[in-house]
Amino acid sequence: MTAFADPQRPSACPACDAAPLAGLLAGKALTDARLMLALPAIHCAACISGVERTLMAQPGVTDARVNLTLRRASVQAAPDVDAATLCAVLTAKGYEAHELDPGLLAATEIDAAGRALLMRLAVAFFAMMNVMLLSVAVWAGAEGVTRDMLHWISATIAIPAVIFSGQPFFQSAFTALRARRLNMDVPISLALVLAVCTSLYETTLSGEHAYFDAAISLCTFLLAGRYLDHRTRANARSAARELAALEVPRALLVTGHTTQTVAAASLQPGDLVRVLPGGRVPVDGHVTHGHTELDRSIMTGETLPAAIAPGDTVRAGEANLTGPITVRVEAAGRNTELARIADLVAVAEAGRNNYTSLADAAARLYSPGVHIVAALAAAGWFIATRDVRVALNIAAAVLIITCPCALGLAVPAVTTAASARLFRKGMLIKNGTALERLAEVDTVVFDKTGTMTDGAPQVQGLDGIDTATASVALALAAASAHPLATALSKALAGRGILPAAITQVRELPGFGVEGTWHGNSIRLGRAEWVGASDPLATTATYLRIGTAPAQAIAFTDQMRDGAAELVAALKAQGRAVVLISGDREAVVRRFAADIGIDTLIAGARPDEKAHAIAALTAKGAKVLMVGDGMNDTAALAAAHVSISPASALEAARAASDIVLTGRSLLPILDAMQTAKAARRRIKENFTIAFVYNVLAVPLAVAGLCSPLIAALAMSTSSVTVSLNALRLR
């Protein structure tokens, strides 16, 4: 789990995150008897007990526990219990269930960094409350020995508490100073250390003012901001990891006459792998046995299935549609073409890293400013009074007053509120600055296959076919599991057509279905096999009865829910909308006309898609890329901000900033609205924090800032900022 060990920043490159994931997927899943299931649809007490009871009733299951917050169940079971069977049982009972890889999720379960931060926050809060109580007594007018005693008790509580709770700031400041740069934590640490030291010195001299309460409440407010920030990041990362854990790449290894399930990454070149219909090809290689059709849309964007015969090349990620095939492995794991495209992502990512978040921009102005003001104030007072003690007290007061409590809360509070809101609408925010970037978008680029379309074909132009022919087509189509055949039989059955009585039905994987009807040979399938003279340019299947000429049945892709509304709304908002696809120009052009997009790029290869995005960016556009396929990943990474649907390939989801959890595309509109609102709130928060500083700093510099004023200014600014952020929910 070293890839996730650094709690401060997730890896900048999704490919780097994905690589160790793939390795981890391989080893652990097969040996660990502890199973993990994702239950995306559970929501109430009845679901919890229903799921737990169902699981416990399964033979071999010793313990089952549902976590409703994470929508997950962990199961202790005998080694022979299979997660797939448990999922099937749960799904049959009405609880949608998917297998998760427990090896990947182990780190999410025990979020050690989050707990440590929470513990520090608790200690700081405890100390703050007690020191504040004592301070109230001092503010109320305690004098002489009583005041000294109260100060000493405050010191004994505050000093260890600051040392323990302030460590995240001290460490970060130390790292920054060693690298000879300033960050937000340098003035924070300086303020804490200076406040505690001068207060201790004042206390030993029976002085009037001690800032122990200010130091520890500073710590508390800042830790609260840190904790919120950490939780947003951890949630985002665990969401990304959960998506990765949903796909356990396995392969059926052929050894002699038997097959066994192995992890795809453990395969060696030369191994034989069986790929069943409905499965994805796990490796790059050559087909040795079997005919089939492959859906290559995830790699190329092309919707027409490709016919595959022995000797043909197949690539990892392609979906097998009709017949079982045996593949001789040429490359597996990191060496596949699929993994190589993922490396393109790393290159494209580098271009995006120069984005400066609002928080960074504020910190860049803030850190030097604070030091200069504090140093000038101290120098001025030293020249005026020739008293080091007064000068240091003034410097401490200035640092405390200017300390970025509100600044530290301004961004995390807004991001947390916005992410929670978008999660309810069906979106996972994977990147902390994604919302800020989304607010700037003026151009939206959509991928066609799998993003704007549903992947399920729909029959077109059934009206030209008479009932007898239709009933033959239905009888043949019902015999096959091919997506086109399934769509055809569903459409025909929906029109009330009954299947004709046909005999000797036989499916030839990769070609079609044939049979006999009233003594005539009948065929339904690919153009060349059926003998169609002029095949259509679009996706189609062909039917021939006896010696009559073959009839074409054309298909179109079904538009995804909300796609048309989304495009219309984006255009109404004055944003440029572009359709980009690897599919053939005729198909893309017709689809673009249907959905109302004027600008289109067809036949684009993966690197061309990325180049198109780069060209738009070079012209000054802020591009939002929405895509799902392997061929989109480089483009997703190159865009200013990117979104992928839940059905997307894992690498595409890893490369994008936001993942849609539902089927509809409409939440994208909500996301853009929320992003704008969030950006406005962040700016408001910065203004609020700035106004407080402008009001309080002159007091501190003039030496009029008592600990009471410091405490009031700090708490009110932090509370105002948090409340302003909560308006977003």
Partner 1 sequence: MSILGILIPVSLALGGLGLAVFWWMLRKGQFDDPEGDANRILSDDYDDRPK
**Could you give the residue numbers annotated as active site?**
447
Q: Nearer to partner 1 by C-beta: 147 or 523? A: 147
Distance CA 361, CA 364 (A): 5
Q: Nearer to partner 1 by C-beta: 132 or 601? A: 132
Question: What separation in angstroms does the CA of 536 have from each of 136, 290, 484, 603?
Answer: 85, 27, 15, 18
Q: Nearer to partner 1 by C-beta: 45 or 179? A: 45
Cβ atoms of 213 and 711 closer than 8 Å: yes
User: Smallest gap, in angstroms, from Cβ of residue 65 to partner 1?
Assistant: 6
* The residue to which tokens 């219309």 are assigned: 568
User: Smallest gap, in angstroms, from Cβ of residue 153 to partner 1?
Assistant: 6
Distance CA 697, CA 705 (A): 9
Task: Report the DSSP beta bridge partners of residue 64.
Answer: 75
Question: What separation in angstroms does the CA of 426 have from each of 173, 500, 661, 675?
Answer: 38, 45, 5, 15
Question: For 184, phi and psi rounded to 5 degrees?
Answer: -60, -30
User: Smallest gap, in angstroms, from Cβ of residue 126 to partner 1?
Assistant: 5
Neighbours of 313 (CB within 10 A): 12
Q: Nearer to partner 1 by C-beta: 145 or 694? A: 145
Q: Nearer to partner 1 by C-beta: 48 or 346? A: 48
Distance CA 647, CA 653 (A): 9
Query: b/e per residue, 456-465, with b = 16+ CB within 10 A?
Result: ebbbeebeeb
For the residues of 106-126, what is the DSSP string, one character each?
A: HHHHS-HHHHHHHHHHHHHHH
Cβ atoms of 378 and 198 closer than 8 Å: no
Query: b/e per residue, 490-508, with b = 16+ CB within 10 A?
Result: ebbeeeebebbebeebebb
Distance CA 381, CA 384 (A): 5
Chain residues binding partner 1 by CB under 8 A are 44-46, 48-49, 53, 63, 65-70, 109, 115, 118-119, 122-123, 126, 129-130, 133-134, 146, 149, 153, 157
Burial degree of 432 (CB within 10 A; 0-12, 13-18, 19+): buried
User: Smallest gap, in angstroms, from Cβ of residue 532 to partner 1?
Assistant: 58
Query: b/e per residue, 675-709, with b = 16+ CB within 10 A?
Result: bebbbebbebbbebbbebbeebbebbbebebebeb
Q: Nearer to partner 1 by C-beta: 147 or 430? A: 147
SS3 for 401-454 is HHCCHHHHHHHHHHHHHHHHHHHHCCEEECCCCHHHHHCCCCEEEEEHHHHHEE
Cβ atoms of 283 and 328 closer than 8 Å: no
* The residue to which tokens 């049945």 are assigned: 553
Q: Nearer to partner 1 by C-beta: 428 or 434? A: 428
Distance of CA 572 to the CA centre of its chain: 28
User: Smallest gap, in angstroms, from Cβ of residue 502 to partner 1?
Assistant: 54
User: Smallest gap, in angstroms, from Cβ of residue 130 to partner 1?
Assistant: 5
Neighbours of 360 (CB within 10 A): 13
Q: Nearer to partner 1 by C-beta: 231 or 250? A: 231
User: Smallest gap, in angstroms, from Cβ of residue 69 to partner 1?
Assistant: 4
Q: Nearer to partner 1 by C-beta: 168 or 509? A: 168
Pairing of strands 306-308, 292-295: antiparallel
* The residue to which tokens 């994987």 are assigned: 509
3-state DSSP: the chain helix, strand, coil percent, rounded to 5?
55, 20, 25
Q: Nearer to partner 1 by C-beta: 130 or 458? A: 130
